[in-house]
C-alpha cells in the first residue's frame, strides 16, 4: 500500500476511492472473484476517481509503480491493481 496507493494518490493530486480491497473467501466467491485473487491476500484494490479521464491519469501513474496486475476494468469504470 505504501509503495502503490499512497504514491499514486500523491501524484494524482485528487482523492481515489477504493471500491474493493481485502476480500474474505466468502465475499470473493459472491462477487465472482478469481479463486487465487490478490484481493484474498489484501494485496489488490479496485480504484476509481469518479471520472474516466482521471482514471486514465491514475492508470498511467500506476503503470510506473510496482505491481503484479493492472487492469483497465469495464472500459475504465474502475482500475484493478495488485501488488
3-class SS of residue 78: strand
Identify residues 1-30 at the interface with Zn ion (CB under 5 A). Answer: none
Closest CA to 75 of 42, 51, 39: 51
Taking the C-alpha atoms of residue 56 and residue 34, their distance in angstroms, rounded to an integer, is 24
Is the CB of 13 or the CB of 21 nearer to Zn ion? 21
Residue nearest to Zn ion (CB): 80
Identify residues 25-64 at the interface with Zn ion (CB under 5 A). Answer: 44, 46
Is 80 one of the binding residues for Zn ion (CB under 5 A)? Answer: yes
Residues near Zn ion (CB under 5 A) are: 44, 46, 80
Amino acid at each position: 500500500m505504501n509503495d502503490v496507493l499512497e504514491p499514486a494518490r500523491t501524484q494524482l493530486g485528487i482523492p481515489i476511492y477504493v471500491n474493493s480491497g481485502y476480500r474474505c473467501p466468502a465475499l470473493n466467491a459472491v462477487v465472482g472473484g478469481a479463486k487465487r485473487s490478490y484481493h484474498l491476500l489484501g494485496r489488490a484494490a479496485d480504484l476509481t476517481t469518479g471520472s474516466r479521464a482521471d482514471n486514465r491519469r491514475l492508470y498511467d501513474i500506476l503503470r510506473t509503480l510496482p505491481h503484479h496486475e493492472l487492469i483497465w476494468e469495464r472500459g475504465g469504470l474502475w482500475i484493478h491493481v495488485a501488488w
